[in-house]
């Protein structure tokens, strides 16, 4: 059984994961409007992955006998100055989510909620991977500078990312 504090915190993270999906879908739309379909595809896969994360929280709260309480999702930004600006914002966002996950781990430890601590370890590892992945794209964009040809080559490469297996439809 979840404590009220833990349930509230997990519901907050569920909301944050849905917002992340919404943010990345907005970034997808930005890239589509700029005719950068590879970057758009990468962000679509990222949006799907974040929605899958949200469903993990949704299912876990129910599994532990808690109640999911959904709340309003903030409107994400819709415009950025460049692909570089998008990925700078993405890295900032992922670092913020890492902070949220770390706070959840702290609460679980304080509550002596070992099941939630174990559940959250997957997300701790996932956030390391998220920051590394986004950081890698960001560094490549910085190396490109104003080289438009390089941007189009990178766009093709970005299209190779697939949506995660076990996506939301099967959750």
Q: For the residues 16-37, what does the mean pLDDT come to?
A: 98
Q: How far apart are CA 23 and CA 86, in angstroms?
A: 11
Residues 6+ apart with CB under 8 A from 142: 84
**pLDDT tens for residues 64-115?**
999 999 999 999 999 999 999 999 999 999 999 999 999 999 999 999 999 9
Q: How far apart are CA 169 and CA 55, in angstroms?
A: 10
Q: How far apart are CA 151 and CA 156, in angstroms?
A: 9
Domain ranges of the chain: 4-162
The share of the chain scoring above pLDDT 90, in percent, equals 89
| Per-residue pLDDT band at 146 (split at 50, 70, 90) | confident
Residue 109 and residue 22 in contact, taking contact as beta carbons nearer than 8 Å: no
Average pLDDT, the chain: 94
| Per-residue pLDDT band at 41 (split at 50, 70, 90) | very high
CA–CA distances in Å: residue 151 to residues 38, 99, 135, 147: 10, 31, 16, 7
Residue 18 and residue 49 in contact, taking contact as beta carbons nearer than 8 Å: no
What is the predicted pLDDT for the residue at 148?
A: 86
| Per-residue pLDDT band at 131 (split at 50, 70, 90) | very high
What is the predicted pLDDT for the residue at 168?
A: 47
What is the predicted pLDDT for the residue at 166?
A: 58
pLDDT at residue 43 is higher than 80:
yes
Q: Sign of the C-alpha dihedral, residues 60, 61, 62, 65? A: positive
Residue 20 and residue 56 in contact, taking contact as beta carbons nearer than 8 Å: no
What is the predicted pLDDT for the residue at 7?
A: 98
What is the predicted pLDDT for the residue at 162?
A: 74
Q: The pTM is what?
A: 0.92
Q: How far apart are CA 129 and CA 43, in angstroms?
A: 16
pLDDT at residue 170 is higher than 50:
no
Domain 4-162 indexed as CATH 1.20.1260.10: yes
């Amino acid at each position: 059984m979840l404590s009220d504090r833990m349930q509230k915190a997990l519901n907050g993270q569920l909301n944050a994961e849905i917002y992340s999906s919404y943010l990345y879908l907005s970034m997808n739309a930005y890239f589509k409007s700029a005719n950068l379909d590879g970057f758009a595809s990468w962000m679509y896969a990222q949006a799907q992955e974040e929605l899958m994360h949200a469903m993990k929280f949704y299912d876990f709260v129910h599994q532990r006998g808690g109640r999911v309480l959904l709340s309003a999702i903030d409107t994400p930004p819709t415009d950025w100055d460049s692909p570089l600006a998008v990925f700078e914002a993405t890295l900032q966002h992922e670092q913020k989510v890492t902070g949220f996950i770390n706070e959840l781990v702290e609460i679980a430890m304080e509550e002596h909620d070992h099941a939630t601590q174990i559940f959250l370890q997957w997300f701790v590892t996932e956030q390391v991977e998220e920051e590394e992945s986004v950081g890698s794209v960001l560094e490549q964009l910085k190396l490109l500078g104003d080289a438009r040809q390089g941007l189009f080559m990178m766009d093709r490469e970005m299209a190779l990312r697939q949506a995660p297996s076990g996506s939301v439809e099967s959750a």
